[in-house]
A = this chain, B = another copy of it.
Amino acid sequence: MASSSSLTLSQAILSRSSIPRHGSVHPPSAASSLYLPSFNGLKSTSSTTSYAIRRRGPTTTRPSIRASAAVETLEKTTEIELIEKSINTIRFLAIDAVEKANSGHPGLPMGCAPIGHILYDEVMKYNPKNPYWFNRDRFVLSAGHGCMLQYALLHLAGYDSVKEEDLTSFRQWGSKTPGHPENFETPGVEVTTGPLGQGIANAVGLAVAEKHLAARYNKPDNEIVDHYTYCILGDGCQMEGISNEVCSLAGHWGLGKLIAFYDDNHISIDGDTEIAFTESVDTRFEGLGWHVIWVKNGNTGYDEIRAAIKEAKAVKDKPTLIKVTTTIGYGSPNKANSYSVHGSALGAKEVEATRKNLGWPYEPFHVPDDVKKHWSRHASEGAALEGEWNAKFAEYEKKYPEEAAELKSIITGELPAGWEKALPTYTPESPADATRNLSQQNLNALAKVLPGLLGGSADLASSNMTLLKMFGDFQKNTPEERNVRFGVREHGMGAISNGIALHSPGLIPYCATFFVFTDYMRAAIRISALSEAGVIYVMTHDSIGLGEDGPTHQPIEHLASFRAMPNILMLRPAEGNETAGAYKVAVLNRKRPSILALSRQKLPQLPGTSIEGVEKGGYIISDNSSGNKPDVILIGTGSELEIAAKAADELRKEGKAVRVVSFVSWELFDEQSDKYKESVLPAAVTARVSIEAGSTFGWGKIVGAKGKAIGIDRFGASAPAGKIYKEFGITAEAVIAADKEVS
């Protein structure tokens, strides 16, 4: 029997950073259990701070903040004093790191340090020595510019990814502490944030994954999946449309274990939010179906924050927004509550003034011993938490071996052996079909063998052909199902899919809309690529071939625009075998998202296509030349491969030696050996014609100066597809004419 600790190992292997293995688990000691986070009732600590509470108001005078009592009682700190000291440690780690880098955002960490302290020190369950422990609570800093808050917390909590030298090299080349949180750089960071609104959307995805897996795998006697997702978002996130999209869905789905803190500090880069943001966020979130709590004193109202979290956990059928009114740059006597503290170092003078104001006598980057000691318990506590869970999993495995095997595959990302045999294959005699339909055959075949496959469309399921027929809808009361209904929310859909993908290595989310509407979700797709989230983008209606809907719906530049994007696979299969090949590639690439461009219109099955060919990106589907010296090479992708093949038939009748190349993925072809590339596109053969119903931008490199790229460099038109193809010259006749030009 596989020991449950192997899960930990596999997850560690999957990460870029190698995390020390913590297979041997110690039971919690009496001492450490004293500090174990209480998840049913939160500790109430009397908040007797003597700080003047900084409240936003019409006055522009800056109230002075009295030095904390914490300093005066260094020798023997009380609990509240220790907590304030911890909070100030977080503040000053942020201040010092930004100061040293002379770049960064001190304002949010200074204002949100209390929330951060309470979450990481009192509320969240995690194991700092294994950031990939499956059942950890997830935390997302949607206001990613405030990343020093998270780095300070990871440092205090004992994550190996953020040591002192990482804090002092904040925002420097090669450091683990980049300018915004990046999951692929810093273990302990769950997702990549910074572009505003993405984080709250990722958090919704993480909470969806938890709710889905809990519903599928939890048993009355063993709740093996059980964690919360916490998120801090700011005014900027709130203004972005994507956050409304995903919060509408979170409310619809009743994600009770999603708890979001809205850092209501009334300051954005351009100044007071009054200048552009006067809506009632509370009312909006009530409309979205959230439970809303307002913590009026986020600066020192620790008990208010604790009580709000307790209340949020008690509300199980709705996500909770805790609006926490804070002072940006809290503690800075001259810059707090102003935009100047948002995105620049305080400057030596103001750092000094802030040290004085908050009573902080320490050197930069210093963590006081009592604070260090206070936080040090998290290593053993975390190990204990993971140990307990591992024991629980071992029991689960004994009792529910089938479910355990499935769940393990989701946790580790190890694909079930032989899964690829489920991929359908086709012969030239198989019926002609649209690749969107062939895509659905693949999705339905794969859903049977891949327990982590789930997804859906942005209200176009019946057009994108994305329904998994054997499953129902993932909904509030049926979260075990795998068809996700995103509504008309492309951007949110992409970012939620990123969250799902990054929840567990074996979750394989797919999402769908018309290819042209990748424009709505491009920011999320880019984050997929950057954050190594292997989302599968099922993008149908991929050209003028969609016909009558016209230019607003017809992609032109989209293929080129994704071919130019790093770490993403742009695949445009031509028919059945190629669609299966595209899915094989997409499923295997768990750290690189794939976009499948699929046709609305029916396409014939072609001789010479293969899954293996697709895996090489570009390959020969037919050739009547010899010695690697064709007279001309015709290159097509997707729905135009058929046209290239037809033109080849005609040209061969004329006695020409013609090679037809399917160029399904430029990125995969680029990765092949020079020898292979030469075998497909020999340098000596300059007579080349490409045909693709999209922008010719980029094709110059493939066809060369003497070749010709047939494509569309204008917007489309509203008419039946055949008519547009003809009027735009995307025809076999055009290919044949081009052959005369290039030969």
Contacts and interface: CB of A to CB of B under 8 A. Distances in A.
Contacts of A289: 278-280
A180 B550 contact: yes
A491 to B, nearest CB: 6
Number of copies: 2
B698 A548 contact: no
A720 B172 CA distance: 7
A291 interface: no
Interface in A221-275: 235-237, 239-245, 248-249, 251-252, 268-270, 273, 275
A280 B276 contact: no
Interface residues of A, number: 113
A723 to B, nearest CB: 5
Contacts of A561: 557, 560-561, 564-565
A357 interface: no
Given A103-B548, A488-B239, A462 B182 contact: no
A526 B277 CA distance: 26
A453 interface: no
Interface stretch (A125-133, A151-159, A623-631, A711-719): A711-719
Interface string A548-570: 11111100110011011111000
A575 B355 CA distance: 42
Interface string A70-106: 0000000000000000000000000000000101100
Nearest to A565: B557
Contacts of A702: 700
B552 A192 contact: yes
B248 A489 contact: no
Interface stretch (A110-118, A324-332, A517-525): A517-525
Nearest to A714: B566
Interface in A455-513: 457, 459-463, 473, 475, 485-492
Contact of A279 (B171, B196, B287): B287
Contacts of A178: 550-551, 717-718
B239 A241 contact: no
A193 to B, nearest CB: 8
Contact of A240 (B463, B488, B526, B550): B488
A194 interface: yes
A552 B195 contact: yes
A637 B530 CA distance: 25
Contacts of A240: 241, 245, 488-490, 520
A719 B172 contact: yes
A22 to B, nearest CB: 29
A252 B276 contact: yes
A11 interface: no
Contacts of A553: 179-180, 194-195
Nearest to A486: B276
A663 to B, nearest CB: 14
Contacts of A251: 278-279
A675 interface: no
Contacts of A276: 249, 252, 459, 485-487, 489
A107 interface: no
B195 A488 contact: no
A457 B270 contact: yes
Nearest to A463: B269
A695 B526 CA distance: 14
Contacts of A281: 287
Contact of A195 (B193, B235, B269, B520): B520
B270 A462 contact: yes
A23 interface: no
Given A172-B719, A180-B549, A284-B288, A563 B486 contact: no
A400 interface: no
Given A175-B718, A252-B279, 19 more contacts: A173-B723, A180-B553, A182-B718, A195-B517, A195-B552, A239-B489, A241-B491, A244-B244, A269-B461, A273-B487, A277-B487, A279-B289, A280-B286, A284-B284, A284-B287, A519-B523, A520-B522, A566-B713, A700-B702
Cβ-closest 10 pairs across A and B: A241-B241, A700-B701, A283-B287, A276-B487, A178-B718, A284-B287, A173-B719, A564-B697, A194-B552, A561-B561
8 contacts: A179-B548, A180-B549, A240-B489, A241-B241, A252-B279, A270-B459, A556-B564, A700-B701
